[in-house]
Amino acid sequence: MAIKKLDSGRWQADIQPQGRGGRRVRKSFDTKAEAIRWERAQFAAADKGEWTPPKKDKRGLRDLIEEWFKLHGHTLKKGEERRDYLLSLCQLMGEPLVKEITPGFYAEFRQKRLQGELKANNRHQGPISANTCNHDLAYLRAVFNELIRLGKWQGENPLAGIRRLKHDDQELSFLDQDQIHTLLSALKESGSKHAYLVAKICLVTGARWSEAQNLRGEQIRNCRITFSRTKSGKVRSVPISETLDKEIFAERSRTGPLFQYCYKAFTRVLGACNIQLPKGQASHVLRHTFASHFIMRGGNLLTLKEILGHSDIKMTMRYAHLSPEHLEDAISKNPLAEIA
């Protein structure tokens, strides 16, 4: 029995306050000093006959999720959406008690989720991707980590030892010039002026569909669109042409909402154009198209990072291979360059 440092960087006290044969108690702390103080207090209480074993945690995972939301989750930009997702995961797990959540329990749950063997509301859930499973794990880990920081969960994170699943990166699809022309023509002919203009804004600024669709007139000044309340939390401004500025405000006020909800109209027209895209990329295909063409035309990756509002350059580097100069040194600097 001793105090030891865990792989997570925390310190664990592992003791038997009532001596050999007595109940074994383990507890984790942020510092070694805290672990030592707790250990001494437990032995002192045991010497006085005052020591009692800690109570078992009888809370369910649902209780922890709700407490996480009350204390922290509500402050997140999409906190309610995250809570609902976590509660749906809890339901898929069978509403477990927290003490039932072990690495083995979660590994079995994940495998069934990957194979589509689970039911929700008496309906089978289809198989999901490894990437989605990794998101599930990250969200659930975050609940325990935050409650540990707030002192509302004692002990280690039960999911800390679960490894993320390896998976191949999916190449981001984008539209070529012919497909762009076909799509914009079809949108214009569809009669949905909102979807047509929102699509054009996405193509010239790299905006997410929701960012463009929710624009207000006040966000466009001097041929520059300012996007706020973005996914990354960053405010960013992107210039547009005078022609597009005039087109946007030809029949619209410079104040108030500019567009109505029109995403379904966009996807309907996109489908009618018979443009084949990987599953899940329809909503971001215009953003990927802007970024891909920007790099293929010689644009700078750091500039693209600022335009797209990425918080991490790793996100922007997904487009690096499209640069006309990307890895060109491989031709002149390979060991056979002087021979070939």
Q: Own/partner pairs for 180-184, CB < 8 Å, 24+ apart?
A: 180/289, 182/273, 182/275, 183/269, 183/270, 183/273, 183/275
Residue type present at position 104: G
Contact 272, 186 (CB under 8 A): yes
Burial label for 339, CB within 10 Å (0-12, 13-18, 19+), is exposed
3-state secondary structure of 116: coil
Rounded Cα gap, residues 129 and 25, in angstroms = 39
- Widest CA span in the chain: 85
Contact 283, 263 (CB under 8 A): yes
Report, as residue numbers or ranges, the catalytic residues. 208, 231, 284, 287, 310, 319
Q: Which residue is it, tokens 């000093």?
A: 33
User: Buried (b) or exposed (e) across 77-88, using 16+ Cβ within 10 A?
Assistant: eeeeebbeebbe
Contact 160, 143 (CB under 8 A): no
Tokens, residue 289: 């198209």
